[in-house]
Structure 1
């Protein structure tokens, strides 16, 4: 059992009224036999205990593709998109049925919510998903969320359910996020090598100096790198995170004394800025010179004189990446002009432009650093 140097963060997580709990593929499925119903029942019991203690719980459940591998006679997790989608179509049905059966033991009704990155990125779908989650909770049902792997393509995927869980935590206005998988916390190295140290708490970016994060395992796409990314995303939304082993779900969802606790940023990012930075689909890229890159890092507006080039098919009001001359993304923002208009403005001072093109390319209020 680990203890935090700052018990406030763990106390906040332990007492959170509304929580999102992400459960990794490795905690639910086996490459040979598919879904492990005993493990799923134990997780449902821990989640039920949290709900009985007064918390609203949303479950983000991985495992659809893993659950479809064995029934389809596959020997390993597929790598091509079509087979992934086929496995998900079989596994999603089994996964939803298993959660429904397990929670029925406690008299709970389960509602399945399938999302794609497009649903989160578009404001209308974003709001609809939010209303669905809120209504399920108000009706006493347990929302079980997963990425809609049967229709998501590589270009529009969340990438892993850690990121999906962090976005759902923001979407639902959750007070805490739990990431439960086959790892028992964040280490400063590879724990399999025997000399790594558990990091009990991450108060800010400085605590991650020197940490080496790996990729996912055989059944899932999320490794430690994706969990760190999700924790940072949640922190922007003002949501503290507990990273722990699914085998320790009872303690994690109880007094939160296991795993690694990530503190939220002191000031929650506004919903609009969070959407621009983390959720919106970008429609293009604006390449800027060194001076403009420095200016936007200081939260200044992007002016036409600093623009070197524009790529993509965007219109006024779309979100674009702002990149420096080396291709590194420096910010995301809501563009004020269509791509053709930006092309006419490249490198020109404001005074050399017609009156209709004298506003900033991206106003400081619409720019978010990444």
Structure 2
């Protein structure tokens, strides 16, 4: 499995050497996990970066058309919830952040659904917490869901379940 962590500056100004290394790794991988952080999804003022999202969906669709399995790990639910409620000020309240995440997660999945629909691709939401992965039965259920989604060429979109987990908030 190949894993790439992208920073905005790496995406905007990639060197030729990085492109060669990345292309070689991707060509040899069967399954690729892409992590998209909030800073990639949202511009500094808090609005969605549609240009980035359109390129991301195009690149993922291209990888899938080449027979690659792609897992998308995506943050951004809290920021999207804040945007949806038009709240600029950040809060330290865990329960308020969880509320924002619950609103933003629905919006995030809707955005990914619409982006990939234009390539005739579906997305499936997987929300996990550390507890889910620490219990063997929950881990196996999550694993089976991943494998089934990938078998049907459905893109798993993974995020931490912020309504029950607080480690990443």
TM bracket, shorter-chain basis: 0.7 to 0.9
Give distance in 1, aligned partners of 2:115 and 2:68. Answer: 19
Partner residue in 2 for 1:231: none
Structure 1 residues 257-290: Cα deviation after superposition (integer angstroms, max 9, x where no partner): xxxxxxxxxxxxxxxxxxxxxxxxxxxxxxxxxx
Q: Equivalent of 2:162, from 138, 146, 149?
A: 149
> Aligned partners of 1:105, 1:147: CA distance in 2, in Å?
26
- TM-score after normalising by structure 1: 0.39
Per-residue deviation at 1:33? Answer: 4.5
Change (3 A) 1:110 1:10: closer
Question: Partners in 1 of 2:158 and 2:91 — Cα distance?
Answer: 22
Which residue does the alignment assign to 2:3? Answer: none
Q: Which residue, 84, 93, 98 being the options, matches 1:71?
A: 84
Match of 2:70 among 17, 32, 57: 57
Cα distance in structure 1, aligned partners of 2:130 and 2:145: 16
Q: CA deviation at 1:77?
A: 3.6
Aligned residue pairs total 153
Matched, 1:130 2:143: yes
Which structure shows the bigger proportion of residues in helix conformation? Answer: 2
TM-score normalised by structure 2 residue count: 0.82
| 4+ aligned runs moved over 4 Å, structure 1 | none
Q: Matched residues in 1 for 2:23 and 2:51: separation?
A: 28
The equivalent residue for 1:365 is none
Listed as ranges, the gaps of 5+ residues in structure 2 are 1-14
RMSD, aligned CA:
2.0
Give yes or no for contact 1:88–1:150 (8 Å, CA) kept in 2.
yes
Match of 1:103 among 116, 127, 130: 116
**Which structure has the greater CA radius of gyration?**
1
SS in 2 for 1:114: strand
Structure with larger RCO (C-alpha < 8 A, sep 6+): 2
* Other-structure match for 2:132: 119
